[in-house]
Amino acid sequence: MDNTALIQEVTAKANTWLNGNYDPETKKEVQQMLDNPDKTNLIEAFYKDLEFGTGGLRGIMGAGTNRMNIYTVGAATQGLANYLKMQFPGLAQIKVAIGHDCRNNSRLFAETAAGIFSANGMKVYLFDDLRPTPEVSFAIRELGCQSGINITASHNPKIYNGYKAYWNDGGQLIPPHDEDVIKEVEKIKSIEEIKFNGDKSLIEIIGKEVDDKYIRAIKGITLSPESIKRNEDMKIVYTPIHGTGVRLIPTTMKEFGFKNIIHVPEQDVVSGDFPTVVSPNPEEPAAMNMAVKKAIETNADLALASDPDADRVGAAIKNDKGEFILVNGNQTAMMLTYYLVRRWKELGKIDGNEYIVKTIVTTEVIKEIAERNGVTCFDVYTGFKWIAATMREMEGKMNYVGGGEESYGYLPETFVRDKDAVSTCTMLAETAAWAKDNGMSLYDLLRNIYLEYGFSKEKGISIAEEGKEGAEKIKQMMAEFRSNPPKEIAGSPVVLIKDFNTLVAKDKKGVETKLDMPVTSDVLQFFTEDGSKVSIRPSGTEPKIKFYIEVRGEMKSLADYDAANQKAEAKVEAVKKSLGL
């Protein structure tokens, strides 16, 4: 389609908003886009409909069919409501829980959704103010809801907002519900089909009573209360990066027994503009700067940060020189898995019927920690919904110890079915207290894990390819890796290839075995003779292709750590070169 035709198409769509039953503020914004000689914003706002994907909605806020606004949120909610009625026809009262984060318009979108669900005859539990994503998952289970939503764009920039949909187990939608809800949302062709006039009698505001139950549940997962008591004055810096964690994380850590929680006052300010950071993502070092600075000033033991909806955690620990270093998501998951498995074992809670869950792109060290200690490890697709799906499947059959992914998400309990920064922060603090009780810092603990289970270094690389041409390029890259897979990577022969698009694994002799996964996914993995693992997948939410590199090494003593790290860094570079990155 040439630019003239495209402008005609988006102008026609914009005029339906201008002349339709939309609010004056929206119409004013649409008119400004139509009047502007530069049609860039008009095209971006109307060239397509904002897609309700398998994780819900996520997009830039503003007027238009390709934007987050009360009308796109409304269509998503009406579609979900229609699907709930189909799925629970005999239920006297369908119930949903609704939460939201700190972002601009989050409360408006949450109240809009509450009105629509209630207008469809559903009982709505709406949080009185911003809350962590995991608490919404908790509330769905606790209140016996059939579904729930959280208004959040996680760690995206401030211009974004989003809509996460959950099922009755508190986990995000998985097949067949995700695809079937999408179909119902796509059927909504006009705002006249959306029931905006809510029934206030069906909306119940919830708050502190759910907070108290949630905190009480988290307190119940402690494994080392004596260690906490002996190290109750341990200095822990915490920042919510302007987000929802400010409501519960300091309180929960204090309830756990930690008395010395040090705040970063500037970042305790709740704001959807995230004024002190470029990006509110604890995966990015810059987002941790103020917490690390405060930790240095106060000579703290540990610095923690949660993202705006408080499901991811970033951490900084002291090395053997007294300097603060950032730990990545793999290392956090490793330390938590090690601690949980070890304490379960010490407390006599492991009898061979326990399991952990990790994603296929997360470090293999976690699997070794589990299996060497008699704990089963399940590998699932990227995305915490697959960890939650495994928990649902194993409920009543096996005992869940913990689960996590390399992208800074972890869950050390079963009463939530999404990654949980609230419980993870408390459990990381408990791990630090236990390590201290055993004469170690968290840095010592990390090095001891490497010493016992083998050194590992991980590197994630994202290559952005914009637009239709970029999408084709990504598709071609995946096709090339499939048709001409590498025979060796960084000088080590490839001994196993897993293709999750065909669900077939092929070893170096060409012997094929079936991969046991619930659905197919566009992911390739290459395993080498020396223990390296390379995973390749197109991003599901951005125009990117992602490479996850893991190389293995050896440590004979704690003193070997720096040398092993340097050697691994060189090996990562060799892997990148082999892959043409």
Catalytically annotated residues? 154
For residue 514, the SS3 value is strand
Report the candidate in 76, 105, 117, 97 with the shortest Cα–Cα distance to residue 205.
97
Smallest CA-to-CA distance from 50 within 30, 71, 65, 29 is with 65
Tokens 């502007």 correspond to 36
Task: Read off the amino acid at residue 425.
Answer: C
Q: Are 218 and 248 in contact (CB under 8 A)?
A: no
- Does a cis peptide bond (omega within 30 degrees of 0) precede residue 275? no
Residue (of 525, 545, 523, 532) closest to 572 by Cα position: 532
Contact (Cβ atoms closer than 8 angstroms) between residue 465 and residue 473: yes
8 Cβ neighbours under 8 A, 6+ residues apart: none
Q: How far is CA 370 from the centre of its chain?
A: 22
User: Helix, strand, or coil here: 483?
Assistant: helix
Cβ-in-10-Å burial (0-12, 13-18, 19+) of 86 comes to exposed
Largest CA distance in the chain: 73
| Whole-number Å distance between alpha carbons of 557 and 561 | 8
CB atoms within 10 A of CB 60: 17
Cβ count within 10 A of residue 4: 8
Task: Please name which of 205, 244, 207, 208 lies closest in space to residue 103, comparing C-alpha atoms.
Answer: 244
Question: In the chain, what is the straight-line distance between the N-terminal and C-terminal CA atoms, in Å?
Answer: 33
User: φ and ψ at 214, to 5 degrees?
Assistant: -65, -45
